[in-house]
Structure formats: C-alpha cells, structure tokens
Amino acid sequence: MICATNLLEQQLQTKGFKRIIGIDEVGYGAIAGPVVVCSVILKQTFPRSFMLCDSKILSKVKREIIYTQIQEFLEVFSIGQSTASEINRYGIREATNQAIVRSIQQLPIQADYALIDGTQAPKLDLPFEMIIRGDQSVRSIAAASILAKVTRDRWMEKMSNQFPLYGFATHKGYGTKKHLEMVRIHGVCKHHRIHWKCFDPNVLSC
C-alpha cells in the first residue's frame, strides 16, 4: 500500500505558505449522484505515524474508522458539491470545478496555497498546484479523499432509502451491471446523469 507523506507541504511551508489546502473529488466517473469535493487543512500536530492513502483502496470499514480518527487533526475542512442536475447542465468537468470553488469558499479561514488532485482546475484566487494521483502521495489530499468519499457514500446511502429501486447504497451511483439493469427497467431518476451513453437503450454498458 502506497501511503501519502507531508513532504510537499513541508517544502511549501519553508517558502512561507502556512495554510495549505489539500483538495480531492469523489464521484467524477459515476452515472448518478453528485460530485463531491473536500478541501482540508491539517493541523501541524498531525502525527507522522498516522498512515493515509487513497480512499479508493480502503475498505468501507477502514475509511469510516479513519474518517473518525482524523477529525482531531483537522484545522478546518469543508465540502463542496455539484448535483446531478448541474452536471447534466454544465458537464462533469465544469461541475467539478464549481464544486472545487465552493469547497474553498466555504472554508472558515483564508488559505495560502492549494494542492489539488488531478490535471484540471478552475481559476482560483490563490496559488495552487495540480498533482496527478495526489491522493497517493500528498497527505492533505489523501485526507480530503477519505473525507469526500465517506461524505458522498453516506449521501448515496440516504438516497437509496428514497429511491430503493436502484440500489444506490451498494454501487454508490457507479455504472455497475446491476445498476444499468435497474435503469433499463425503471428509467432514470432525478439523480442520474443523463449525458452518459449508457442511458441510450441501444447501448448495453458504459
């Protein structure tokens, strides 16, 4: 398992950047539900021995445990999201960028620098750096990944109670065979992203 470090944050702090945000999104490739972005600033007291890694390689139980454990080591964090309706209207890339901006704007303190997982980002009012697979290498991004994943999964589980036909609690809105079968039988609901080609009845899979 590859675990993230705080080496990059330390390098930035020596350059005068004290409040460094780690940012990651969850749900970009789903066919239903929101895209969720977390912005997080870790406390300086975050223990070196605490191992963080990409949320996608952790079990649900492990993510939930870490989600609870890291709360005391967060200086601040916030969640921004874009709904399926916004994704349908603007496209997934623009909707994700909107969620990134929202997550930063909702932080209660002003940050100095942002480290963002991925390759694309909106225009921001602070210096930032895009990092490919940042959730595997940068501690603050890994923390954001876990917080965003748990937040989105809980939301999808709640939506599963309201829309029980689709099994959102199981697949979390991703295009599994069972999910697509339910869409073909029941049609889409308001949380589906209708731009995906898998919603064409002539196409069997994404």
pLDDT of the residue at 2: 57
pLDDT of the residue at 203: 47
Mean predicted lDDT score pLDDT of the chain: 90
Of 25-34, 50-59, 62-71, 128-137, where does the model show the most confidence? Answer: 25-34
At residue 194, does pLDDT exceed 50?
yes
Show binding-site residues. 24-25, 117
Q: Closest Cα to residue 38, out of 138, 154, 146, 153?
A: 146
pLDDT of the residue at 134: 87
Return the CATH class of domain 7-155. Answer: alpha beta
At residue 78, does pLDDT exceed 50?
yes
Show binding-site residues for a divalent metal cation. 24-25, 117
Q: Taking the domains of the chain in order of start, what are their residue ranges?
A: 7-155
Please state whether 167 falls in left (phi above 0), alpha (psi between -120 and 50) or beta: left
Indicate yes or no: pTM above 0.85: yes
- The Cα–Cα gap between 159 and 146 comes to 20
